[in-house]
Amino acid sequence: MNNNFWITDKPIQINECIDKVVRAEAGAVNTFIGTVREFTKGKRTLYLEYQAYKEMAEKKLSQIGEEINDKWNDAETAIVHRVGHLDISDIAVVIAVSTPHRNDSFEASRYAIERIKEIVPIWKKEHWEDGTKWIGDQKEQTTYIPSEEDLRND
């Protein structure tokens, strides 16, 4: 099951994620695709960088799949998250959940994206047009002061 949950530094192929969950028992696949948005509250993003603890992040993505299996009957989940430099409209994350009936696929997919932001160790660095940067976790709530080491990796 673990090969349904992975971190990549390459452009994400949406179909690769969807193909993992399409099956004869399922009549519904809900897919959530997170892309890099150019404007946030009027402020322009030039590009993003995502960093992850790869092994732990994949383990946590897999855990989300297990949580979905506990909560919804006969669901199959695949999740891929990209790291590295992402330009505007690049795909950062794809979630695909197949279920026999559509309601469950919507609910489980929605659950997955919220859980990714809660428990998966992936950090985002926003590069704004005005030259400032912002580093934070996926919930966009944490005030995080970058360390010297973080800055050296700029």
Residues that bind its own copies (CB under 8 A): 14-15, 18, 22-39, 88-89, 98, 100, 102, 105-106, 109-110, 113
Q: How far is the CB of 8 from its own copies (least distance, A)?
A: 17
In this complex, which beta carbon is closest to its own copies, that of residue 35 or of residue 153?
A: 35
In this complex, which beta carbon is closest to its own copies, that of residue 15 or of residue 153?
A: 15
Q: How far is the CB of 63 from its own copies (least distance, A)?
A: 21
**Strand 43-52 to 84-87 pairing:** antiparallel
Q: Residue 112: which of 62, 54, 42 has the closest Cα?
A: 62
In the DSSP assignment, the letter for residue 147 is P
Q: What is the DSSP string of 106-119?
A: HHHHHHHHHHHHHH
Q: How far is the CB of 79 from its own copies (least distance, A)?
A: 14
In this complex, which beta carbon is closest to its own copies, that of residue 102 or of residue 133?
A: 102
Q: How far is the CB of 1 from its own copies (least distance, A)?
A: 20
Q: How far is the CB of 152 from its own copies (least distance, A)?
A: 29
In this complex, which beta carbon is closest to its own copies, that of residue 30 or of residue 77?
A: 30
Q: How far apart (Å, rounded) are the C-alpha atoms in residues 82 and 84?
A: 7
Token digits of residue 82? 């990209």
Q: Contact, 65 vs 79, CB < 8 A?
A: yes
Token digits of residue 146? 């970058």
In this complex, which beta carbon is closest to its own copies, that of residue 23 or of residue 55?
A: 23
* The length of the chain, given as a count of residues: 154
